[in-house]
Amino acid sequence: MKQKIAIIGAGSWGTALAVSLSGKGHEVSIWDLDDGLLRELDADRENRRYLPGVPFGDGMKASFSLNEALYGADIALFTVPSQHFRGALESAVRLIGSETPIVNAAKGIEQKSLRTLSQIAAETAPGSRYAVISGPSHAEEVGRALPTTVVAASEDNELAEYVQTVFMTGRLRVYTNSDVRGVELGGALKNIIALGAGISDGMGFGDNAKAAMMTRGINEMARLGERLGGRRETFFGLSGIGDLIVTCTSEHSRNRRCGVMIGEGVSPDEATRRVGMVVEGMYTTEAAWQLARRTGVEMPITDQIYRVITGQASARDAVTALMTRQRRHETEDLLI
C-alpha cells in the first residue's frame, strides 16, 4: 500500500522516519523552515547536519514549499520540536483536507499553555483525525534500520491501525493504543527523568542512583499522567517505561547528555547550547512543575530538577533534598 507522506520537520527524527518510510516504498516529501538545510538535503542526499551517514532512499525528496510537500498527501507527519508544533500545524492545516490524518511524532508539552500536543491539535484543527507515535526510538538507530518498537495511539482505532500498517517494517514494529493522552505524556515526562539521570551520571554517582531515579521517576510520571487523563497502565508500556529506559541510559539521548554536563558543573543554558539540538526536557520540566502545582500532584524529582535548571539549587543540594525526604512506604500510592 504505497502512500504519499509529507513530513514537516527535517531534524534527526523526521529524517529517520523519512528514510524508514521511503525504504518501505512510500513516496516521502520532507519540508522544513530552514531553506539552507533543505538545500543541503537535496544536494547531499543525506542529512549531514542532524543524521550523518544515513543515505536517502529513491522515494524521498526535500520539498522547498510546504504546499508542495502537502499536496495530495495521505498523511501529514509532524516531527518539529513541541514548542513549534502549534505554529507548524496552523500553517499546514490550511493546505490539507479535514480527512488527511495528522500524525505527530514530537514529544513535549507546550510551555506557555501547558497543553499536550493533541490538545493543541483539537484547538487548531478541530475535527481532524489525529494520531501520535511514541516509544523508545532514537533517530540514530531507526535511520539505520536497527530493531525498534513504538506505539501508534489514536482515539480512532481504525486510524491507529492504518498508521500501524503504513509505518511498520521488518525492523520497526508498531503496536496500537487508544490512550492518546497517556502515550503523549509518557513521551514528554520521561525527558525530565532523563535529565536527572544525566545529572546523576555527571556527578559521578553509580548505577544504584540511576536505577532509583528511573524507578521513582516512572511513578511520578504515572501520578501526573493519570491525573491529567491518561491511563496508569500506559506508563508501564513502550511510551512510558520503555522510552524512559532508553532515554536515561543511551549515549544518543540529548536530555541525558545535557544532564551529564549540568552534573559536571556546566550551567543549564550552556549545556543546552553545547548539545546543539533542542533539549525537550528543559521545556517539559517547567511545564510539568506548573502542572504538578496546579493539580496537587507530588513530584519530588521533577521539583528538584526544576530548581536546578532554574538556578535555585545546585545539583548536589537537590540530591541531598531527595535523599533526606520524609520516610515513605514504597507502594504508598497504590495503598492510597
Catalytic residues: 190
Classify residue 321 by burial, with Cβ atoms within 10 Å: 0-12, 13-18, 19+. middle
Beta sheet of 172-177, edge-to-edge order: 60-62, 27-31, 4-8, 75-78, 102-104, 130-134, 148-153, 172-177
Distance CA 29, CA 2 (A): 14
C-alpha cell at 153: 495511539
Classify residue 301 by burial, with Cβ atoms within 10 Å: 0-12, 13-18, 19+. buried
CB 200 within 8 A of CB 207: no
C-alpha cell at 141: 538507530
Cβ partners under 8 Å of residue 114, min gap 6: 287, 290, 291, 294
Rg of the chain over Cα atoms, rounded to whole angstroms, equals 19
Sign of the alpha-carbon dihedral angle for 307, 309, 313, 314: positive
